[in-house]
């Protein structure tokens, strides 16, 4: 690959990453801030923890993601913070949120913001406390291979346009092709009313 091709590929990847940063759901941020505000009004000790988690996510998106590669444990910590904030947001409603990580993440590296768009999409399209919702995310790290299985039941969401919000997944697919060519598999499917994502990446 000549220098011009490398430069064009780098510029394309940077543009896609910048677009993903802008797409981190502002509704999630505002809803989370409203939740934290309610906690603070009630003088809840959970408010400080929620603020710290939200701060960590924003720091990650704005700063850490500027790097070509980041420690895998940092990416997983951001995901964990994101899911904890979603749990705080929905409280004891009928939303069932399951998140599991198996394997050793330390010492591994991944391009930033590869996993979060799929997880954010699950929450955006799979949450409706009035009808009951379930989101299950399983991440497994074995050797240099990371596998993620994410599923959510598809629920009716008021005022949502068909297929809105899929841009983050499309960008993630493009980045996978650019940065992990021949080293990943991605299967997105729908089984009845369940949306499923299976992703495997060879990290090294």
Provide the 10 A C-beta neighbour count for residue 82: 23
- Shortest CA distance to 149 belongs to which of 166, 135, 133, 137? 137
pLDDT tens-digit profile, the chain (204 residues): 577 777 766 666 666 666 555 555 556 666 676 777 677 766 676 777 787 788 788 778 777 777 889 999 999 999 999 998 888 877 766 788 999 999 999 999 998 888 988 998 888 877 776 777 889 999 999 999 999 999 998 876 554 544 444 556 888 888 888 889 999 999 999 988 899 999 999 997
pLDDT value for 91 = 73
Rounded to the nearest 5°, which phi and psi values hold at 52? -65, -40
* CA–CA dist 139, 100 (Å, integer): 6
Q: What is the pTM of this model?
A: 0.75
3-202 is classed CATH 2.60.40.10: no
49 token code pair: 């923890």
* Dihedral angle over CA of 197, 169, 186, 204, nearest 10: -120
Q: CB within 8 A of 67, min separation 6: which ones? A: 112
122 token code pair: 């699950």
Instruction: Give the start-to-end residue ranges of the domains of the chain.
Output: 3-202
Q: CB within 8 A of 143, min separation 6: which ones? A: none
């Amino acid at each position: 690959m000549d220098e011009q091709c490398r430069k064009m590929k780098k510029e394309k990847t940077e543009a896609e990453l910048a677009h993903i940063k802008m797409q981190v759901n502002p509704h999630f941020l505002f809803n989370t801030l409203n939740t934290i505000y309610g906690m603070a009004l009630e003088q809840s000790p959970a408010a400080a923890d929620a603020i710290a988690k939200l701060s960590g996510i924003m720091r990650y998106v704005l700063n850490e993601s500027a790097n070509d590669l980041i420690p895998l444990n940092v990416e997983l910590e951001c995901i964990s913070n994101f899911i904890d904030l979603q749990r705080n947001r929905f409280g004891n409603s009928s939303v069932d949120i399951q998140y599991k990580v198996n394997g050793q993440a330390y010492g591994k590296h991944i391009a930033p913001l590869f996993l979060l768009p799929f997880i954010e999409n699950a929450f955006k399209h799979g949450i409706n406390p009035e009808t009951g919702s379930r989101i299950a995310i399983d991440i497994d790290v074995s050797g240099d291979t990371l596998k993620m299985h994410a599923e959510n039941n598809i629920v009716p969401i008021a005022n949502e346009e068909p297929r809105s919000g899929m841009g983050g997944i499309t960008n993630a697919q493009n980045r996978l092709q650019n940065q992990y060519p021949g080293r990943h598999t991605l299967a997105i499917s729908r089984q009845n009313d369940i949306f499923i994502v299976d992703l495997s990446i060879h990290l090294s």
